[in-house]
Amino acid sequence: MLKIIVKDGESIERALKRYKRKHRNVKVMQNLRENQHFTKKSVKRRREIQKAAYIQGLRDDENL
């Protein structure tokens, strides 16, 4: 559970902004979506390798 303590003199908009940043960094929604259905470890690993290859390809193209 995320807790945001509003400091003295801090606006509610600023506290809300801190909450949203924490929520995004903790990846709450991403974890919920991933856990909706079971994914085999081999499939997860294959996706990681494909993603790494894609990113490496982008970096290689950038260096040309």
**Three-state helix/strand/coil letters over 28-47:** HHHHHHHCCCCCCHHHHHHH
Identify the pLDDT of residue 30.
87
Identify the pLDDT of residue 63.
82
Domain spans, the chain: 12-63
Identify the pLDDT of residue 62.
86
Q: Is 80 exceeded by the pLDDT of residue 1?
A: no
Q: What single letter denotes the amino acid at residue 50?
A: Q
Question: pLDDT tens, 21-62?
Answer: 998 888 888 888 989 999 999 999 999 999 999 999 999 998
| DSSP class of 9 | T
